[in-house]
Every structure is written in structure tokens, then in C-alpha cells.
């Protein structure tokens, strides 16, 4: 099916946005902290046209699902909630959005921690900007996208995913201060490339402990008398907190310090060590890993040619990311997946893409 077949006419415009993988800085963005994401080759494409009636019509090619909205007070669920949220927020900002036909196709894997939702939001907003000539820049697109996820999808997310989808590329790392939105484009570590392997265990943020972790961090910050945990730089300060708040805060503080160390310039070997430390912290202090991810990361960390590896995304399933020697990612992935899948799991390589159709 294509736009013409679903809606009976060709689209007026289309726009795309990539998924992202986060190399360091996990669960720090909603603590006003520091992150190091990069874009991945897989992307989401949104095509737009004007509706011939008073309704919005959204169609997802991946899900083979169509949603029509006539009552503006009726908030949809699933993929349509992200699109609807983007439209609603633009209208609340004073822009007139006519009834639309929206067609979505994505090669960003869902449930893998690679921000398929942010890619959908940013692609939707880019397409709306083009179609209606809206005077919004790439940072504003990220901000609208974040609020769509919070207000209409129910995930109390930080702004990292949307900023990465809106501003990052696949050749560089995007350093982002999520409080000030100061950012810096940095090269990948020398003689290294990125490998992303899906654990085969999908995760959903709304039903996971994501919002609980955010609430715990906010409670920890209040107890320490700071606006956000980003304002704590000495990990020893967290020792006055009760458990589990002490461990949650310890992860955020040490994770921010790992990102800031990279900002000063590190070797690929040191970058890998920081990734390994990040996974241990996410597993033990933040408690967002699962046995499958731990096993996958362990195999990666023990494999020749791998500088370091960790879970990526919110956790509770999803994907791992590794920094590996240039030119060796596919060979390493074959070796790792053989061991991992022999243990009864069902992993697959996502980046470098073996063909975007494989990841759809």
C-alpha cells in the first residue's frame, strides 16, 4: 500500500527523520544532564496531504493500521497519539492545521530503544513545516516533539531523543547539555565505528519503570536541595540519601561525569571503558537492564575488537551499543550473535544495517 492507494490521491509533501543510538548519558536528559547520541541509518518517513473531509486520517504502513479522528477531544492511542500530539501542540501555539491525511513508513525498529517515537514525531513536524510553511526551526521541532511524547503518549521523557533525531547525523556524535541546549558536534572516536545489536527483548516505555525512575530522581534532587541531579558533581554527596534513591542518584552523577570526560577528548579504548562502566551502573544502580541485555553486553565486552559495550535507550529490553574497531563490526556481530543466540535468545544486528528492509 502507498499514499495514493490509501487516500486516493498523491501526497503533497514528505519528510524523514532518523532514529538514534545513545553512546553515553543514559537517563541523564530528564535530570538536566549531558548526553552523547548519534543518528542511525534507519529513519521514519511521513507523507502528508489535505483531507477531503473534516477528519484527520493517519495510516501506518508498518502496522497496516488506519485511524480517523473527527472529534478533536478524542485522543487516539498507539502510533496515532504521537502524530495527533504534534498537530495539537502546533495548534495550541497558534498555527492553523487543516484536516490532513498522514501516511507513515519506518525502518526504525520499534521497541529496541532506538527512538522510533522521536523519529515519528520529528518527521511529522518536518512534514508539517514544509506543507504549511511554518516558521519553526530544528530546535523548536525537537521541543514540540518532546512535549507531544509527554502530553499525548504519557512518557515523561527528556529532550535527548528528539534533539538527536532533529539535529544529529550518522557521522558524528552530538554532545548535548539538556538544560541549556548547548551542543557540540564531535567526531567518532579514532579508528572506531558503532555496532548496535537488538537483544530480541522488546520494551515499552509507558509500561516500564521509566516514569518511576524519573520520579525517584526528582525526589532525590529535592532531598539534596538542588533543581536537578545534574547539579551534583561529587558522587559522595549522594551517600546521605536512602535506598534506592542513593543508587539512582549515583548513576546519574557518575554518568554525567563519564560524558564530560569524553568531552575533554579520550581514546577509543577509554571511551569503551566508560561505556562498560555505564552498563554496570545502569544494571546495578539504576536497575533498568534485563538478563538478555546483560548476557549480550557481556559477550560483546569479551570479544576481540570491541572497545566497550552497554545497553542503549531506557532499558527494560531493547538494544545494546558497542564501540568496535573500524571495519570489523559485521564480523564481530556474526561472532557475538552466534554465541548469544545459542544461549536461547533471538538477537539481530541493527547497525550497520544489513539492509533497511531487515530492520523494518
Q: What is the pLDDT along the chain (360 residues), one digit of tens a residue?
A: 999 999 999 999 999 999 999 999 999 999 999 999 999 999 999 999 999 999 999 999 999 999 999 866 678 989 999 999 999 999 999 999 999 999 999 999 887 778 899 999 999 999 999 999 999 999 999 999 999 999 998 888 889 999 999 999 999 999 999 999 999 999 999 999 999 999 999 876 555 688 899 999 999 999 999 999 999 999 999 999 999 999 999 999 999 999 999 999 999 999 999 999 999 999 999 999 999 999 999 999 999 999 999 999 888 999 999 999 999 999 999 999 999 999 999 999 999 975 433 332
In a shared domain, residues 137 and 90: yes
Is 45 a domain residue?
Answer: yes
* Residue 161 a catalytic site member: yes
Q: What's the pLDDT at 357?
A: 33
| Cβ 294 vs Cβ 333: under 8 Å | no
Residue 178 sits in the same domain as residue 229: no
Residues 153 and 269 in one domain: no
Q: b/e map of 285-321 (b: 16 or more CB within 10 Å)?
A: bbebbbebbbbbbebbbebebbbbbbbbbbbbbbbbb
Q: Go through 331-359 and write b for each residue having 16 or more CB atoms within 10 A of its CB, e for each that does not.
A: ebbebbbebbeeeebebbbbbeeeeeeeb
- Regarding whether 73 and 195 lie in a shared domain, the answer is no
Q: What is the CATH number of the domain that holds 208?
A: 3.30.70.890
Domain boundary pick from 162, 185, 208:
185
Give residue 133's pLDDT. 98
Structural domain includes residue 93: yes
Write out the residue range of the structural domain in which residue 355 sits: 189-359
| Torsion on CA atoms 74, 115, 150, 153, rounded to nearest 10 | 20
Q: How many domains does the chain have?
A: 2
* Per-residue confidence (pLDDT) for residue 273, from 0 to 100: 98
Considering the domain architecture, whether residues 335 and 220 belong to the same structural domain is answered as yes
Q: Residue 228 falls within a domain, yes or no?
A: yes
Shared-domain flag, residues 127 and 225: no
State the virtual CA torsion across 3, 203, 351, 292 in degrees, nearest 10.
Answer: -150
Per the residue annotation, which of 29, 161, 177, 285 is the catalytic one?
Answer: 161
Picking from 165, 185, 205, the residue at the C-terminal end of a domain is 185
11 in a domain, yes or no?
yes
Q: CATH number for the domain including 107? A: 3.30.230.10
Same domain, 53 and 142: yes
Same domain, 193 and 162: no
d(CA 68, CA 71): 9
State how beta strands 34-50 and 13-24 pair: antiparallel
In a domain, 2, yes or no: no
Same domain, 250 and 355: yes
Q: Are residues 147 and 196 in the same domain?
A: no
User: What is residue 115's predicted lDDT score, i.e. its pLDDT?
Assistant: 87
State which of 153, 185, 217 marks the end of a domain: 185
Let me know whether 128 and 218 are in one domain: no
Task: Give domain status of residue 299, yes or no.
Answer: yes
- 27 domain residue, yes or no: yes
Same domain for 86 and 230? no
Q: Write the secondary structure of the chain as one string of H (helix), E (strand) and C (coil).
A: CCHHHHHCCCCCEEEEEEEEEEEECCCCHHHCCEEEEEEEEEEEEEEEEECCCCCEEEEECCCCEEEEECCCCCCCCCHHHHHHHHHHHHHHCCCCCCCEEEEEEECCCCCCCCCHHHHHHHHHHHHHHHHHCCCCCHHHHHHHHHHHHHHHHCCCCCCHHHHHHHHCCCCEEEEEECCCCCEEEEECCCCEEEEEEECCCCCCCCCCCHHHHHHHHHHHHHHHCCCCHHHCCCHHHHHHCCCCHHHHHHHHHHHHHHHHHHHCCCCHHHHHHHHHHHHHHHHHCCCCCCHHHHHHHHHHHCCCCEEEEEEECCCCCCEEEEEEECCCHHHHHHHHHHHHHHCCCCCEEEECCCCHHHHC
pTM of this structure: 0.89
Q: Is residue 1 part of a domain?
A: no
Residue 195 has which C-alpha cell? 555496532
Amino acid at each position: 500500500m502507498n499514499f495514493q492507494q490509501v487516500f486516493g490521491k498523491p501526497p503533497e509533501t514528505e519528510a524523514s527523520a532518523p532514529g538514534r543510538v545513545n553512546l553515553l548519558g543514559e537517563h541523564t536528559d530528564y535530570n538536566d544532564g549531558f548526553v552523547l547520541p548519534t543518528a542511525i541509518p534507519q529513519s521514519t518517513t511521513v507523507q502528508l496531504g489535505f483531507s477531503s473531509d473534516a477528519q484527520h486520517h493517519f495510516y501506518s504502513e508498518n502496522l497496516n493500521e488506519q485511524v480517523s479522528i473527527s472529534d478533536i477531544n478524542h485522543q487516539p492511542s498507539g502510533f496515532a497519539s504521537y502524530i495527533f500530539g504534534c498537530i495539537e501542540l502546533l495548534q495550541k501555539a497558534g498555527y492553523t492545521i487543516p484536516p490532513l491525511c498522514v501516511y507513515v513508513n519506518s525502518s526504525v525498529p520499534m521497541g529496541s530503544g532506538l527512538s522510533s517515537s522521536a523519529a515519528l514525531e520529528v518527521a511529522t513536524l518536518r512534514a508539517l513545516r514544509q506543507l504549511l510553511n511554518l516558521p519553526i526551526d530544528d530546535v523548536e521541532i525537537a521541543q514540540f516533539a518532546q512535549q507531544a511524547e509527554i502530553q499525548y503518549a504519557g512518557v515523561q521523557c527528556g529532550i535527548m531523543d528528539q534533539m538527536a533525531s532533529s539535529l544529529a547525523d550518522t557521522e558524528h556524535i552530538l554532545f548535548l547539555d539538556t538544560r541549556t541546549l548547548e551542543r557540540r558536534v564531535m567526531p567518532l572516536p579514532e579508528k572506531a565505528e558503532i555496532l548496535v545489536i537488538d537483544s530480541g527483548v522488546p520494551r515499552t516505555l509507558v509500561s516500564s519503570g521509566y516514569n518511576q525512575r524519573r520520579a525517584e530522581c526528582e525526589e532525590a534532587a529535592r532531598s539534596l536541595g538542588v533543581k536537578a541531579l545534574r547539579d551534583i558533581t561529587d558522587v559522595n554527596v549522594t551517600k546521605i540519601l536512602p535506598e534506592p534513591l542513593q543508587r539512582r542518584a549515583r548513576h546519574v552523577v557518575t554518568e554525567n561525569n563519564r560524558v564530560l570526560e569524553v568531552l575533554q577528548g579520550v581514546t577509543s579504548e577509554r571511551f569503551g571503558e566508560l561505556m562498560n562502566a555505564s552498563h554496570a551502573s545502569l544494571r546495578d544502580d539504576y536497575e533498568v537492564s534485563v538478563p538478555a541485555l546483560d548476557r549480550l553486553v557481556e559477550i560483546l565486552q569479551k570479544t576481540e575488537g570491541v572497545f566497550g559495550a552497554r545497553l542503549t535507550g531506557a532499558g527494560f529490553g531493547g538494544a545494546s551499543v558497542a564501540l568496535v574497531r573500524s571495519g570489523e563490526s559485521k564480523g564481530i556481530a556474526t561472532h557475538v550473535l552466534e554465541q548469544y543466540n545459542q544461549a536461547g535468545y533471538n538477537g539481530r544486528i541493527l547497525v550497520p544495517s544489513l539492509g533497511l528492509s531487515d530492520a523494518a
